[in-house]
Amino acid sequence: MRQSSLVVVANRLPLDDNVAPDGACEWRRSPGGLAGALRAILQQTPATWVGWGGSIGDARPLPDIGPLRLCPIPLGEEELRGYYEGFANSTLWPLYHDAVEQPVFDRGWWETYRAVNRRFAEATAEVAERGATVWVQDYHLQLVPQLLRELRPDVLIGFFLHVPFPPPELFMQLPRRLELLRGMLGADLVGFQRPQAAHNVAQLAAKLLGARGADDAIILEDRVVRTGAFPVSIDVAEMRSLSARPYVLNQARQLRQDLGSHKRVLLSVDRLDYTKGIEHRLTAYSELLRDGKVKVRDAVMVQVAVPSRERVENYRGLRDRIEREVGRINGEYGRVGQPAIHYLNQPFDRADLAALYQAADVMVVTPLRDGMNLVAKEFVAARRDDTGALVLSEFAGAAAELGDAFLVNPHDVDGLKETLLQALAATPGDLATRMSAMRSYLTTHDIHAWARAYLTELEPARSLSR
Ligand code: ADP
Ligand code: G6P
């Protein structure tokens, strides 16, 4: 087994093993923010990525992506149910997102979650060079830092949580809270999207583990665990250069024409997830149509919602409800050849996404809770001429950085309606001021700056922890 000095461990590999319509296997970019963000930084760095390839059963060997080696972890049907669909996505995911859906505590899932975390830790221990840096990602693998420390005390271990870390009173509901906290604190540096998360963890470590310390360093037995906020970002240069391509510019023009050249275009792009606030957004838009504040002849909404975690109960119900609601709104307010909402349930490639971002007047990003939300940042990076409005939920991590957006509480449907109208009515001057401030912020806060900040902070932990 070839070894690397940098190993990234994430539930998903950057490529997803998919079955093409003709039955053949094909690889495509994995969905979601984590894979896209990490892929951007690892394309130029010699490293190994340990992760699951997205299919059930044996893992097929995978070719390198440039200097990046892929180490696939196999997952069987039962493991997928207990670890991924169960504990990760039916217990931790809803709990970490403010319990906007009820977390399920199923005792059977825990053992599988622990066993799969152990498999990831063992595979990582094999591919890490002596003294390597290992960077573990997200809630699926929260036990890996401690498991890996036991197997390989020589390696430097980082952990980054892409999703929010909940307030202590919610975390305390978890039947396995002690093990989960200890598992994560097995790292030398634990990174979060927001400073509040580090504060929550310091409080819990004191309460549950008798640890001492502060928001930036927890003293646990004989070790110091550093913590901090490192807001993740996007490949700004990639999105900028995509947006300047003639194909994308043409495509954006074509989209405007197809949607009705004189119409205002509102756009949303989400994984089909109940944390994204799609239903609240549809209610707000439908009421604006009902009240006559927005007219189908003047405006159109485009909702891109790519299917996600479809075998998990909460997600199936969500898709049905959204499709029914879009049908109802179009039935009630649409006209022949002029739907109120275009609903696209498909994956798009990067260039087509860039064209959509450029074609929109108002980007509506209204999650009920989101670790970061990279779509908001992609939209800003794609607006080369400082036009366009971003309506952004206060409950997305991105709101802390993109304060020049039209910030909104998505639970407040009246407030959401007002904010949408405000964004539609904003003057070009106001929009340009806001957009140019957000664009210049992103220039210096891109994905490379994120990785640099995290890894630079991780390195001094070497001397602290041993
Ligand atoms: P999450 O990680 O929860 O899915 P983010 O907004 O942080 O949310 O990241 C979503 C990522 O998935 C973005 O990079 C976005 O461009 C990508 N994405 C979303 N919808 C689609 C789609 N229909 N086709 C392709 N990529 C998509
Ligand atoms: C979020 C999570 C990621 C996850 C992604 C897509 O961004 O933080 O860890 O990979 O959603 O979800 P999926 O279940 O398809 O991997």
* Ligand 1 pocket, mutate which of 28, 233, 353 (most atoms under 8 A from CB): 353
Is the Cα dihedral 322, 328, 333, 339 positive or negative?
A: positive
CA 259 from chain centre, in angstroms, equals 29
| Cα–Cα distance measured from residue 399 to residue 6, given in angstroms and rounded to the nearest whole number | 31
Whole-number pLDDT of residue 28: 65
For 370-392, how does the pLDDT look when each residue is reduced to its tens digit (9 = 90+)? Answer: 999 999 999 999 999 999 999 99
* Higher pLDDT, residue 341 or 59: 341
Q: 251 CA distance to ligand 1 centroid (A)? A: 20
Q: 461 CA distance to ligand 1 centroid (A)? A: 33
From the list 71, 84, 73, 19, the residue with the least C-alpha distance to 42 is 71
Q: 286 CA distance to ligand 2 centroid (A)? A: 29
Residue 219 clears pLDDT 80, i.e. is over it: yes
Q: Which among 17, 97, 140, 162 is annotated as catalytic?
A: 162
Whole-number pLDDT of residue 307: 93
| Cα–Cα distance measured from residue 445 to residue 232, given in angstroms and rounded to the nearest whole number | 9
| Cα–Cα distance measured from residue 157 to residue 56, given in angstroms and rounded to the nearest whole number | 29
Q: Is the CB of 141 under 6 A from ligand 2?
A: no
Is the Cα dihedral 159, 162, 167, 173 positive or negative?
A: negative
The domain segmentation of the chain, as residue ranges, is 4-232+448-464, 236-444
Whole-number pLDDT of residue 25: 52
Told to judge if 370 belongs to the known catalytic residues of this protein, a careful annotator would answer yes
Whole-number pLDDT of residue 466: 45
Same CATH topology for 4-232+448-464 and 236-444? yes
Q: How many residues does the chain have?
A: 466
Residue 462 clears pLDDT 50, i.e. is over it: yes
Whole-number pLDDT of residue 265: 98
| CATH of 236-444 among 3.40.50.300, 3.40.50.2000, 3.60.21.10, 3.30.830.10 | 3.40.50.2000
For 314-365, how does the pLDDT look when each residue is reduced to its tens digit (9 = 90+)? Answer: 999 999 999 999 999 999 999 999 999 999 999 999 999 999 999 999 999 9
Structural element, H or E, at residue 183:
helix 177-184
Q: 207 CA distance to ligand 2 centroid (A)? A: 30
For 104-134, how does the pLDDT look when each residue is reduced to its tens digit (9 = 90+)? Answer: 999 999 999 999 999 999 999 999 999 999 9
Q: What is the 3-state secondary structure (H, E, C) of 32-96?
A: CHHHHHHHHHHCCCCEEEEEECCCCECCCCCCCECCEEEEECCECHHHHHHHHHHHHHHHHHHHH
Partner residues linked to 57 by β-bridges: 75
Amino acid residing at 44 = Q
| Cα–Cα distance measured from residue 271 to residue 306, given in angstroms and rounded to the nearest whole number | 5
Q: Is the CB of 36 under 6 A from ligand 1?
A: yes
Is the Cα dihedral 350, 356, 360, 362 positive or negative?
A: negative
* Higher pLDDT, residue 32 or 57: 57
Domain 4-232+448-464 in CATH 3.40.50.2000? yes
Whole-number pLDDT of residue 325: 98
Q: Is the CB of 375 under 6 A from ligand 1?
A: yes
For 5-51, how does the pLDDT look when each residue is reduced to its tens digit (9 = 90+)? Answer: 999 999 999 877 665 555 555 556 776 778 777 877 887 778 999 99
Q: Is the CB of 307 under 6 A from ligand 1?
A: no
Q: Is the CB of 347 under 6 A from ligand 1?
A: yes
For 409-458, how does the pLDDT look when each residue is reduced to its tens digit (9 = 90+)? Answer: 999 999 999 999 999 999 999 999 999 999 999 999 999 999 999 999 99
Ligand 2 nearest atom to the CA of residue 137, by list position: 9
Whole-number pLDDT of residue 166: 98
Ligand 1 nearest atom to the CA of residue 162, by list position: 2
54: pLDDT confidence band, cut at 50, 70 and 90? confident
Ligand 1 nearest atom to the CA of residue 306, by list position: 23
For 60-107, how does the pLDDT look when each residue is reduced to its tens digit (9 = 90+)? Answer: 888 888 888 999 999 999 999 999 999 999 999 999 999 999 999 999
* Higher pLDDT, residue 65 or 212: 212
Strands of 341-344's sheet in order across: 341-344, 299-306, 264-271, 362-365, 389-393, 406-408
- Closest Cα to atom 15, ligand 1: which residue? 375
55: pLDDT confidence band, cut at 50, 70 and 90? confident
The ligand whose atoms approach the alpha carbon of 232 most closely is 1
By three-state DSSP, how is residue 334 classified? coil
Q: How far is CA 403 from CA 407, 409, 436, 449, in A?
A: 7, 14, 12, 19
Told to judge if 162 belongs to the known catalytic residues of this protein, a careful annotator would answer yes
Q: Is the CB of 162 under 6 A from ligand 2?
A: yes
For 134-182, how does the pLDDT look when each residue is reduced to its tens digit (9 = 90+)? Answer: 999 999 999 999 999 999 999 999 999 999 999 999 999 999 999 999 9
Residue 368 clears pLDDT 80, i.e. is over it: yes
Whole-number pLDDT of residue 19: 54
Q: How far is CA 457 from CA 8, 220, 233, 236, 444, in A?
A: 16, 19, 17, 22, 18
For 278-287, how does the pLDDT look when each residue is reduced to its tens digit (9 = 90+)? Answer: 999 999 999 9
